[in-house]
Structure 1
Amino acid sequence: MVEEIKEKNKSSAAALTVIRDNEIVLDHYSGTYSNTSSALPVNENSRFNVASARKSYLGLCIAFALYEGKIHSLDDYVSDYFNDIDPDILKDTTIRHMVTHTHGLNENSEGDIIREFNPGEKWAYRGINIKRMTQLIRKIYGVPFPEFLSAKVFSPMGLTQTWWETKDSDDLVKVINDPNRNGEDTTGSTEDGMESNLFVSAREFALWGNLFLNKGEMNGRRIVPKEVIELAINIHTPDHLAKDFPRNGMFWYVQDTPRKWSELGDRVPRGSFQILGVTGPTLVVIPKYNVVIAKMYNKRYNYGNENYLYYLKKFSSIGADTFQ
């Protein structure tokens, strides 16, 4: 299926790493770093831009801030932390709303914050919550959240292929917007987490998921407190949200019961969780089967709008079926 989707979407590169019972049971790489004839083949050191999957990294920082009392409660009002936003626009928006995409905020073309719906009323995928939560972590800890994670998590885990890149290098896979044009350099201007410039190898993406699967342990060693991991992957979506909308932890999509607009397949067991990005990465964690599946592509806007959810659900359902 990974290869079929690669060809269908005209991605030049694909990677798949599967961890079961803390062992890599499958490593698959195909294609090239870009869609040019001289592009090098993808391998285990190839690092993909994971786009919005970076939200799971930010989410862990928010979980840390809650655990350490830097944020008092998920139901704290956002206005308690930001005095530069019109309180009439923020209304009753809480941290809970921000991490579960139920905040109802957006930005207009001038960069002004606007309200689309009342907090907790609906679910909508926007970027304003990520920007503000990124700013919040810096405000709380005095350093950008990637720097915080590097000291707290990446270094203890031994990760060397996970970072927000500002300069192109030979191990960074290009992102393809138009298959008829060369792949693009998607490094950013800063390493502070405000941009979509996180590059990760398939193996380290899978290890990131495996850290959550093992509730913060790696090779029998405690990396992250268990309570922090549980805060990140437990469902925090307001209870009254309409049943068809997804349920979220700290940005992770979490399976409770199959839902119409969820990005997890109907056959994925309860308690599983997933994160993904517009360039094609998908990280699926299935605790029931002790499995982590990390898939990578380098093509922006995969599947087409009408088929987007269908293929995402199908992928995670097949992954669950494989290890059932």
Structure 2
Amino acid sequence: MILEKDYTNTFEGVHTHVKESAEKMGSSGGALYIIQNDKVVTESYFGKQSNDIHARDVKSDTQFHIASVRKAYIGFAAAYAIYNGYFSIDDSIRQFVEDSHLSAYEGVTIRHLLTHTHGLKIENGKLISEYKPGESWAYRGPSIDLLTTIIKKTTGRSVADIVNEQVFEPLAFQSTEWIKMSQPHLKIANTLRDADDIIWTETDVVDGSGMNMYVSAQELALWGYIHLTEGKWGGKQLIPREIIQMATSIQTPNPRLPIHKNGFLWFVKDTNHNFNQIGDTVPKGSYQLLGYTNVALLVIPEENVVAVRMFNRYGSPEGYDYLKDIRSFGDTVYKWSIKSTMQ
């Protein structure tokens, strides 16, 4: 299925915001892709894929390393496993791990892993409990390793296998790949080392091997779109609605705590607070993921909009307020999506 294009509203303000952010961050290039009311309403590509003198122009088929945005695919696989009865969201993880005797696992459930409320932390090479599960929030790597391991152990398939079968193949995705190291056509600017280096972290685990995820702006937007439609594609229910609803609704064990609210690894908008990554004006129920490469995927159901920005810049310059930047991106998208519906 190819979505119709309608460029009546150019989303000028969002284009300006994205290009200004890219310049401030020192990104060599980027992309913007927005879907609203089941139509592609804007797309743009600018700059180069790296700072290399022979770098390729960023184009519609350019794939970006999406870093932590890949957690949306892990969350989907977890929802798939729960929907199909492989485990339950409030199951203790001790029944799935080999070193279940460790005291750090006490009270930790699948829900805690999915909402970053598990309290697990690696300190001096050992797994410890930083706080009692459910009583606080912290963005830590151990939860992703555990989730991917539990999904593989219970379903017999990796996260990659599940999303390939359930989404990538039915939707005929061509520009979404799991890759262990950057390839010449995937070069991206890197603040720490040359882009030919292996670039993966403990959070980049699919089935025990390090894998980055490279995706084009269009296919990341379509991934967001299948969530916006709650699994519908081309007028058919491709994915059970319950899988998407689980993944994108608040699952935080104690929603009254003044912490980030999460679905299945997605950040879900609840109330405004100064460490939120979703804009203050963006309506409740919207959800988003932001990666270390400054790639962002934002879904605003109230305005029937999906917005993707793609940058190829690892981290941000010293002193740069990335939270202010990403909140401003969301607020700008929301402002222009409202303007579109009023035209």
**Compared with structure 1, are the counterparts of its residues 87 and 192 closer, same or farther at alpha carbon in structure 2 (3 Å cutoff)?**
closer
Normalising by structure 1, we get a TM-score of: 0.93
**Compared with structure 1, are the counterparts of its residues 321 and 47 closer, same or farther at alpha carbon in structure 2 (3 Å cutoff)?**
same
Query: What residue is the counterpart of 1:125 in the other structure?
Result: 139
Query: What residue is the counterpart of 1:21 in the other structure?
Result: 37
Q: Is the 8 A contact 1:77 1:93 kept in 2?
A: yes
**Compared with structure 1, are the counterparts of its residues 185 and 191 closer, same or farther at alpha carbon in structure 2 (3 Å cutoff)?**
farther
Aligned-residue offset at 1:222: 2.1
**Compared with structure 1, are the counterparts of its residues 27 and 221 closer, same or farther at alpha carbon in structure 2 (3 Å cutoff)?**
same
Q: Is the 8 A contact 1:275 1:284 kept in 2?
A: yes
Aligned-residue offset at 1:173: 3.6
Q: CA RMSD in A?
A: 2.0
Paired residues in the alignment total 319
Question: Which structure 2 residues correspond to residues 50-89 of structure 1 after superposition, within 5 A?
Answer: 50-72=66-88, 74-89=89-104
Which of 144, 151, 154 lines up with 2:158 in the alignment?
144
* SS of equivalent residue, structure 1 residue 26: strand
Q: Which amino acid aligns with 2:314?
A: R
> Sequence identity, in percent?
35
Alpha-carbon distance in structure 2 between the residues aligned to 1:187 and 1:99: 24
**Compared with structure 1, are the counterparts of its residues 132 and 29 closer, same or farther at alpha carbon in structure 2 (3 Å cutoff)?**
same
* SS of equivalent residue, structure 2 residue 307: strand
Which of 122, 126, 134 lines up with 1:107 in the alignment?
122
Query: What residue is the counterpart of 1:2 in the other structure?
Result: 18
* SS of equivalent residue, structure 2 residue 169: helix
**Compared with structure 1, are the counterparts of its residues 68 and 237 closer, same or farther at alpha carbon in structure 2 (3 Å cutoff)?**
same
Aligned-residue offset at 1:172: 1.6
Q: Which runs of 5 or more structure 2 residues have no equivalent in the other structure?
A: 1-16, 339-343
Q: Which amino acid aligns with 1:117?
A: Y
* SS of equivalent residue, structure 1 residue 157: coil
Aligned-residue offset at 1:86: 3.2
Normalising by structure 2, we get a TM-score of: 0.88
Question: Which structure 2 residues correspond to residues 208-223 of structure 1 after superposition, within 5 A?
Answer: 208-223=223-238
* SS of equivalent residue, structure 2 residue 186: coil
**Compared with structure 1, are the counterparts of its residues 126 and 60 closer, same or farther at alpha carbon in structure 2 (3 Å cutoff)?**
same
Q: Which amino acid aligns with 1:14?
A: G
2:167 is equivalent to residue 163 of structure 1: no
Query: What residue is the counterpart of 1:226 in the other structure?
Result: 241
Q: Which amino acid aligns with 2:23?
A: E
Alpha-carbon distance in structure 1 between the residues aligned to 2:64 and 2:304: 25
